[in-house]
Amino acid sequence: MSLFAVTPGARADEELVRVLATGPFSKALSRAIDHSGLGLGRLKERLARAGVSISTTTLSYWRTGRTRPERPESLRAVALLEDLLGLPPASLRDLLHRPESDRPSIRRVVGWDRLWDPREPVLSVLHSFESADEPSVVLLSLHESLHVGADRALTRQRVREIVRATDEPVQTRVVVLRGCAPGSPPRLVATRYCVPGRTEVIPEQALIVSELVSNRMLAPGETAIFEYEFEYTDGVPDDRYDRRFRHSTPEYLLEIHFAPEAMPSSCHSYRMDHVSGPERDVTDVPLSALSPAVAFASAVTPGIRGMAWTWPAESG
């Protein structure tokens, strides 16, 4: 029976009508689920019978505002939920166009398609990792160092992450790195406090997607350290590097070590709100053969952070 076929006047109905009009999406979905009397398990089963596979964890994240449905399959699930919960057509989907300003900033998660070109096959690979699609850990601190050889090619990347489990016990984290030349993706060569899990390589994009498994299961609220190192294999000169953030991160430090005999003529740091957006907050980075180029940011918002540099013209 539709919500609006119910006798008017009940306070619960009035509250649901109000939140469907004002949002946010998470609150409206949560009220509608409570009003229906259906548990997340039953909703999952009914969605599955309609041909859409959505986990109870995802449904829980949607109703608490942990994540928002963005993929085509997820939007199809929302349309089905409107029917299953007796709501007017598009009443939930319309709310997805509005921001949820009441969500804690560190827990806001943007879709992968904001960070990677939707035409790239890496998106389908990322979505195949449940720990990437439904992140249950947040980054508290990220420190990475990149090394550039005398041939101007990237040689290795070393990363130290401090993470915290959020809503449920978790043990895995997914990381992505791109090389420069198709056919030669980087290799994961070392880990500390974690071990490699499932790994997928996309040779045509020189991309590697690796799951890292912590040495212990993290309970909600627990912190842990992940350290890992990638080796670049292409030997192709490069002039930029970036890191992509799905949620806000309190602090990020990027240091780039250039070989003393191959120093760039200039270097700058930047941020981008999405993959096709312009560079913002462009800042010159000092260069020295005695120390790395450094870019530090606090209260990092979802998006892309990186450095770009210019090589001097080669003589002869």
> Around 138, how many Cα atoms within 13 Å sit in the side-chain half-sphere?
23
CA dihedral (54, 84, 19, 74) positive or negative: positive
Q: How many angstroms separate the CA atoms of 296 and 28, rounded?
A: 38
Q: What's the CA gap between 130 and 31, in Å, rounded?
A: 26
pLDDT of residue 56: 85
| pLDDT tens for each residue of 218-248 | 888 899 999 999 999 999 999 999 999 988 8
> Cis before residue 24, ω within 30 degrees of 0?
yes
What is the mean predicted confidence (pLDDT) over 247-271?
Answer: 95
- Both structure tokens of 157: 């990347």
Which residue(s) pair with 251 in the sheet? 141, 298
- Tokens 């880990």 map to which residue? 191
Assign 131 a pLDDT band (cuts: 50, 70, 90). Answer: low
Q: How confident is the model over 163-190, as a mean pLDDT?
A: 89
CB of 300 closer than 8 Å to CB of 242: no
Decide: 35 and 15 in contact? Cβ < 8 Å. no
Tokens 């952070």: give the residue: 305
Domain residue spans of the chain:
3-103, 107-310
pLDDT at 133: 53
More confident position, 5 or 188: 188
The yes or no reply on domain 107-310 and CATH 3.40.50 is no
Of residues 144 and 130, which shows the higher confidence score?
144
Distance from C-alpha of 52 to C-alpha of 104, rounded to nearest angstrom: 29
